[in-house]
Structure 1
């Protein structure tokens, strides 16, 4: 049985990782690899606004859709937010949330595996959940992303009115688990807080605020014996030596080392003040710290100011008066807070459980690029009209706060047929661009660029190797001389496109008429389509 990469990394380090077990676990942990690679088919008649290709609304099963996105977006998504079914043992009007526990685990596991592949190295994933599966979800996230990748869990208040139901305790909060792809480079914005300026009581003539800190270390580990090398003399303003001494006479230590103190002295940055110690005035050195121009602090994990489910449903009713609203819709302010912390304008945001379209709507208003996936008719009955209202400039949710006036657009897609049949053969309707993207991703692990239709069989260079695909008459027609078969003239033409490249080539084609000796001499590996194309 294959071992997920996150587990393998921990095992390599000799760490023991507790894991969940359930009836179908052995199949579920490899399910993502077995998902067939499908095409995304554009439906331009359902595009919104100016049809901006940077934004995608996809109708279809999110497991298939995530697999279809990999060749183009692996490692490119800055922020993933998902709000999966909570398995609350109650049937909602729009989907059956009454899944047996093992089936819920079976559903969520392979989707998280694919989401991790799509996440950028400096990106993060945010998963909404409640108490029913929240703790089990965290163990799965630990397994897939690595326990060291866990950032925190936010708590947000979803209820703001007294609950008169018959439950023993009112459930008025939910969680958002947060993981980074690579915590060493994960980026999270801080919150502006002008109140921090109160900690800087001093003010210079030009208005800069500051505070002076004792150079002498106070509190824990502040004795000479704690850091002997940081007990040394400094020449005071009167030429006399000054040592770090506590007011009670105990030998202390400086908070900075000798080299840094000498640099401060040389730059004239030490601040000297007379203080009384045991009835005698002594010179005491301080360092001056200036207040930042824009003081910030980390965001708090308890969210009490992001609106509630009641307000979110009221907003949804105003936007979609002719459809039933989702009971589990999240307020735009919650998603705004997440995107504000985890992304910047033009970053790519993904939600594969789009629901009524909140994440895409907020991302659009905040100037992010976005991909939203929703199954069934909800993509058209809820998501599309919601996003069309956003493009028209609707003023609910966060619109006023971010100055939203409308504009932009998106492209609408549905899932097409699998790229390969049951035997692994390429389906005849698959175009060059789709197969090229799949081969590039399979060979390099890197996403292909989405853009204009290709005009050359050369796919590009990666780690010193050039890749090319002869398929679907890219050089003309389907006859050998037309471009699907590798011949000596075509090989020469391919190499002429990269004249400065003298490294290896990998070339896919229907057949090869170049002698093996010439392939070897030219450092060329030929792979035959469809047999050598990795179907998954």
Structure 2
């Protein structure tokens, strides 16, 4: 076997794609299938609180109902949205189905491995396009697929962009019914878009951390904590750190162990002595010194985040269910919510106020709710309409109107304000009949114009179209005819072009004479028949 190429993960049907079915499952299809290549529209449903005018709707917080891959394609493929989100999302946090074989009330968490990996691959590729250069993606998993997802994300984002694996202590009580081990933790895989640009924020100092600072020798500089004076290097690796020091109480020469030498060189050690920074125990009973680190010297903006997140700092699953019950007045809670304090830490580390946060597995809406309270912009996508109606929209509405006093509301000083736009992914503009792909009956008039424009790379809808002209890409115009394009309609369209402009005409049918006339009158302009020519133009997918 050859050794060329890079390490990768293989699985059945890796070269194929998935489309979601009406039953909530997935179907294998070729990657150039029209259902994979299509960019679906996003339709307005309603709005809550303060939102922009419809012409600036992409700037609103967005609650989108529909399959996440369709929503992500819309955000990356429709200029109205891609101009606002592509390369600008600071944080993507996703909590996808864990593939554990458990069935929760809100979604089926039991996907075959190849389906799960393909489902994740297709979404991660789109997420990569949305991330800002200094952005990051956080994928929340358990043992079922974490190891496989790590290798998958190495492929999508490349290994240098791996940042850390966070371990969250999700429970403090063991399960007596565990078959082998009682699992206490989940994992969050963190990747950057650019390893040189992503810089997580510091974690605020806690009261528990402050308790480690004491003043055992009444030092006038105030409380301090002990720090190990040795480092995990050997004498062979760092011979300059292997030397004797004098014990001030006994006068003995003290050597470090050859397998763990001093952390500081001789010159630095002499400075520590001169500045009274070494502590040998209250009675000189320490065999090796400790370095004193003063509370006053601590960084004011916090400490670097650690990868172990205990329940005492970010709460546990039980807390999240309690929060869910309070939000919904004691009703049945969401099956797998995450605590708001947990999400607060993720958002705090990865973003600043005003940044965009995306969650395309919305669940009960925790990410959006906490992002809103913290002054971030957000987009959340949830596939199940029932989950949106029962959990997500009511919860976010309470946040907007200041009716959610729980979670991190008090911590961040949230009162009320803002708003969001509730949208849905439109059905496919195509349908299959007798082996042929046709336009769906609802694709008429203005909707036909919008759907056609969405399939053409780079064309943006005109906010104030003058039919048949509905969009533009530079000096190239888009004209859409909901019916037959004749030589008369072509003549009328060309007559309205400036000398340096060209046009793409999309029609449901056209006469050959019309196509010939367009070539003669406007070389470089094109006429396309929907849906056949649109499918040809979109017969490619991201790899």
**TM-score normalized with structure 2 length:** 0.67
Partners of 2:490 and 2:298 lie apart in 1 by 63
Q: Which residue of 2 aligns with 1:88?
A: 100
Contact in 2 for aligned 1:20/1:139 (Cα 8 Å): no
Q: Which residue of 1 aligns with 2:318?
A: 310
Q: Structure 1 residue 299: deviation in Å?
A: 1.0
Secondary structure of the residue that 1:43 maps to in structure 2? strand
Shift of the 518–109 alpha-carbon distance from structure 1 to 2, 3 Å rule, reads closer
Partners of 1:335 and 1:459 lie apart in 2 by 41
Shift of the 193–89 alpha-carbon distance from structure 1 to 2, 3 Å rule, reads same
Partners of 1:32 and 1:370 lie apart in 2 by 30
Q: Structure 1 residue 435: deviation in Å?
A: 4.1
Could you tell me which of 118, 133, 139 is aligned with 1:106?
Answer: 118
Contact in 1 for aligned 2:43/2:426 (Cα 8 Å): yes
Could you tell me which of 70, 79, 90 is aligned with 1:78?
Answer: 90
Q: Which residue of 2 aligns with 1:281?
A: none
Q: Structure 1 residue 104: deviation in Å?
A: 2.2
Q: CA RMSD in A?
A: 4.1
Secondary structure of the residue that 2:153 maps to in structure 1? helix
Q: Structure 1 residue 410: deviation in Å?
A: 0.7
Contact in 1 for aligned 2:518/2:525 (Cα 8 Å): no
Partners of 1:323 and 1:274 lie apart in 2 by 65
Matched, 1:300 2:306: yes
Shift of the 294–165 alpha-carbon distance from structure 1 to 2, 3 Å rule, reads same
Secondary structure of the residue that 2:41 maps to in structure 1? strand
Partners of 1:396 and 1:78 lie apart in 2 by 26
Q: Structure 1 residue 325: deviation in Å?
A: 1.8
Partners of 1:274 and 1:308 lie apart in 2 by 47
Matched, 1:37 2:39: yes
Contact in 1 for aligned 2:518/2:526 (Cα 8 Å): no
Partners of 1:322 and 1:191 lie apart in 2 by 33
Q: Which residue of 1 aligns with 2:260?
A: none
Contact in 2 for aligned 1:31/1:110 (Cα 8 Å): no
Q: Which residue of 1 aligns with 2:389?
A: 380
Partners of 2:325 and 2:132 lie apart in 1 by 35
Q: Which residue of 1 aligns with 2:510?
A: none
Secondary structure of the residue that 2:151 maps to in structure 1? helix
For structure 2, the residue ranges without an aligned partner over 5 or more in a row are 19-28, 214-218, 222-234, 241-264, 276-295, 507-514
Contact in 2 for aligned 1:222/1:253 (Cα 8 Å): no
Contact in 2 for aligned 1:436/1:459 (Cα 8 Å): no
Equivalence map 1:113-132=2 (5 Å)? 113-132=125-144
Contact in 2 for aligned 1:152/1:178 (Cα 8 Å): yes
Q: Structure 1 residue 300: deviation in Å?
A: 0.9
Q: Which residue of 1 aligns with 2:9?
A: 19
Secondary structure of the residue that 1:41 maps to in structure 2? strand
Q: Which residue of 2 aligns with 1:63?
A: 69
Q: Which residue of 2 aligns with 1:509?
A: 505
Contact in 1 for aligned 2:490/2:517 (Cα 8 Å): no
Equivalence map 1:226-305=2 (5 Å)? 294-304=300-310, 305=313
Equivalence map 1:122-521=2 (5 Å)? 122-193=134-205, 294-304=300-310, 305-321=313-329, 323-376=331-384, 377-393=386-402, 394-420=404-430, 427-429=443-445, 430-432=447-449, 435-436=452-453, 438-441=455-458, 452-453=463-464, 459=472, 461=474, 466-471=475-480, 486-492=493-499, 507-510=503-506, 513=517, 519=523
Count matched residues.
420
Q: Structure 1 residue 163: deviation in Å?
A: 3.9
Q: Structure 1 residue 402: deviation in Å?
A: 0.7
Q: Structure 1 residue 183: deviation in Å?
A: 1.8
Residue-by-residue CA offset, 1:52-85 (whole Å, 9 max, x unaligned): 5411111112222222222223323221111011
Secondary structure of the residue that 1:160 maps to in structure 2? coil
Q: Which residue of 2 aligns with 1:528?
A: 527
Q: Which residue of 1 aligns with 2:227?
A: none
Contact in 2 for aligned 1:37/1:420 (Cα 8 Å): no
For structure 1, the residue ranges without an aligned partner over 5 or more in a row are 1-10, 204-218, 224-251, 256-270, 276-289, 496-505, 520-524
**TM-score normalized with structure 1 length:** 0.67
Secondary structure of the residue that 1:334 maps to in structure 2? helix
Q: Structure 1 residue 318: deviation in Å?
A: 0.8
Secondary structure of the residue that 2:335 maps to in structure 1? coil
Partners of 2:334 and 2:49 lie apart in 1 by 25
